[in-house]
Chains A and B, each alone.
Chain A
């Protein structure tokens, strides 16, 4: 016999194990060992969240009541999977091309990045999913109470159990679902844990099935006899219901937010889909193979028992404690994996389509200027997860855990299936418009609520028996379960039939009668013809955005290193150096897509729009829509490639020319500068020495003037030293004293040496010692010289009231960088290109005492050492990035 305490212990241990698995999966993915995560089998297993506790426990109950009808719940998805070439392949391709984050994002993105539709689908999904989450909580509580009754105690407080289960699930989801704001919104830890849970529930159900067929009965023949003798020996097939259920489960499989999450968002490779197209039906096949045998054996030996719990009570009846425990874990897995993924999917939708737009519009200052967006997004996701689970628990609490919940599964399916017409229409019909989609969704949703959802609450709800029988205010043709006086239909079939017909009708009619906005037409073409131009989602025209503003914004959303890498890559592609590419329409489009992976298409569009401003679509873009034939597309893409190449060459030539011109100007300027720098101290020296030579001076004046002569002589010497240093470096005659060292030591040395610089102001330096422990093999004295120069510069030129300098070590692209960022006003973009040139002192402040050679020397040293130094724009203050030698 299994003690209740043992059960608690085992389930806690199992939860702990799942935590470890998720943690491990996340780590594997982050450290780059996650290749196996791309294995089709993991993807297939993650799809198993379709089989929730409702199917794990409920399928047997369903079979015990209605015979074979339960199998429709699996047949629909089987057809969708087997027919993957039609719909799923397209969905996955679009999901990748457009960086879709959720089903709401898909609909919003397809219909011109409309936030209205995003909100609509989000609301629909939350309303449709909340009861379903409640159902999962109920199943966990029920299975607990079965064991508690066995122990003779009864479950003390079912509500508290449900509450703590919800809290635990929220914690797990927050921990692994919002660990970071991934560019592609994939959750490797969660997927790994769910794959494990998928195996557990399959093994559990198969074990019970095998036990029932060969342990309790005498094999398949015996089971057939038991079926013949059971109350469900005759298959009472209701045609309309059978077909409707297959359709409904197929539709829900595509539109359930959690299924969209695992099918499309978490998909990394189309090969996964190909394998899953037969492997997942096979999984469902195995899940349902023993359902009828378990049901009939349960009906035989426990005629008064709750059929929904046969999977548990049958093994317990035969004193199979271990088997029952396994079954319990199977059911537990079904419930938890569904809730976790549903919570992730819903929180993404709520956060991207409801919270972020509100937050953005509240911050009229614009996305670039308002704090760390990443933190806001993560926080809003976490709050949304807690909110979703809280709603689920509340629903459970209010419905009192009643039997009525059992029927909610189908009702929930029917609710989310309302997205189907807009989704399929959007994928295959370019004429589908936002107005049509909004109309169809609203009408379908309303019919569903009126004919199915509200009546499910029974008399207690808004639908009294009177309304059901006579219609609202006695209007007969509006009876919730007999629209237009068509009577005798099964209520579920009735609701699905009418909601789908009216939904599709309004969608089609609305689309036919309305005109799409330009951006809708573009997105429509992108979606419908995704296989023809996967790479060209549309967006921006001539950008007048400031590259630097965009970088600032992108850093806040994607994280500094990712954003910088993206900008640098684009710069290189355009044939430029540094981090600030031209804001070409192409680049804006790429940027927007990357951002939408983090915050959703509509929000990303709005954010880029805030900075870029102006219209998003030009005549050129519309021409692209009109180009329907393949030849034109191909031809124009060739032309485009050619003109792009030409433009690149031209840009490079222009840059080379500019460089030559500026070199000659530079030579003149250099001589002139040298003259100036040498003559200035010389002037003081000559003037004062003439004065002194004349004699007749007070003693203190004599001392003062000789002091000035000395200072100026020192200044002159220093200048000559710098010049010599630079010319030696430039001529490549320098011998490097390569030795082993540690970054911490070099920085320590530099900081203390720089603090003795006479004319600097006190500067507070922030360092991260934990990241500085880097072994170096280079000329550490020269490296220290560079660091001293940068620190001294910050203390001279940082114009903040409280000058601060942050020195941080960053790893990016396999190289280590040391960033020096101060809190002053920084260096204006037009000057950023010249600061590394000789004598490029930006202000003429002589008091700074330098001749403007410091950064030029730094650059020479770093290139000699095999590293580099660049100016890093968009960091708030002046920021220099020293790339350490390899």
Chain B
């Protein structure tokens, strides 16, 4: 079976929009991670050391995720300053 190449217009812009979607989701992901310890907190006591490790690990992952996304966004056409979905903002203006 051969795969035919599909035409996909404005690939860069599309990618960039999805990156911005990712950025929008990030704080909710963060909130979720930070609130996970609440589950079952009433019934079980947790060790400070290991709970702390979890929190710091989640925190660090969130930071790394944000940094990578910003980096990718900065390289995409339009940079970090503009949102293609927002009328009136152009790529060259920051």
Contact = CB atoms under 8 A, between A and B. Distances in A.
Direct A–B contact present (CB less than 8 angstroms): yes
Nearest to B51: A235
Contacts of B66: 81-82, 277-278, 281
B45 A239 contact: no
B24 A534 contact: no
A242 interface: yes
Nearest to A279: B67
B51 A274 contact: no
Contact of A68 (B45, B52, B74, B81): B52
A227 B28 CA distance: 31
Interface string B18-62: 001001101110110011011001100111110110011001101
A67 interface: yes
A577 interface: no
Given A269-B94, A278-B67, A532-B88, A82 B48 contact: no
A278 B51 contact: no
Contact of A235 (B34, B46, B63, B94): B46
B41 A239 contact: yes
B87 interface: yes
Contacts of B92: none
Nearest to B42: A239
A534 B88 contact: yes
Interface residue tally on A, bucketed by range: 35 or more
Interface string A268-279: 011100110111
Contacts of B35: 242-243, 246
Interface in B61-85: 62-64, 66-67, 70, 73-74, 79-81, 83
Interface in A215-242: 224, 227-228, 230, 232-239, 242
A285 B58 CA distance: 11
Nearest to A289: B56
Interface residue tally on B, bucketed by range: 35 or more
B86 interface: yes
Given A237-B41, A270-B81, A531-B88, A78 B59 contact: yes
A86 interface: yes
A235 B45 contact: yes
A228 B49 contact: yes
Contacts of A146: none
A535 to B, nearest CB: 8
In this complex, the member of B34, B48, B55 whose beta carbon has the largest number of chain A beta carbons within 10 angstroms is B48
Nearest to A275: B70
B38 A239 contact: yes
A291 B56 CA distance: 12
A815 B63 CA distance: 49
B26 A237 contact: no
Interface in A514-535: 531-534
Contact of B31 (A71, A79, A234): A79
B89 interface: yes
A489 to B, nearest CB: 16
B72 to A, nearest CB: 11
A281 B70 contact: no
A75 interface: yes
A566 interface: no
B54 to A, nearest CB: 10
Interface in A598-647: 630, 633-634
B59 A234 contact: no
A289 B60 CA distance: 11
B56 to A, nearest CB: 7
B51 A285 contact: no
Nearest to A226: B49
Contacts of A68: 48, 51-52, 55
Contacts of A278: 63-64, 66-67, 70
Nearest to A67: B48
Nearest to A273: B80
Interface string A376-416: 00000000000000000000000000000000000000000
B87 A285 contact: no
A79 B30 contact: yes
A292 interface: yes
Contacts of B86: 531-532
7 contacts: A78-B63, A86-B24, A270-B80, A271-B81, A274-B80, A289-B56, A532-B88
Given A78-B30, A289-B56, 8 more contacts: A75-B30, A78-B63, A79-B30, A80-B27, A85-B23, A233-B47, A271-B79, A532-B86
Interface of A: 67-68, 71, 75, 78-86, 224, 227-228, 230, 232-239, 242-243, 246, 269-271, 274-275, 277-279, 281-282, 285, 289, 292, 531-534, 630, 633-634
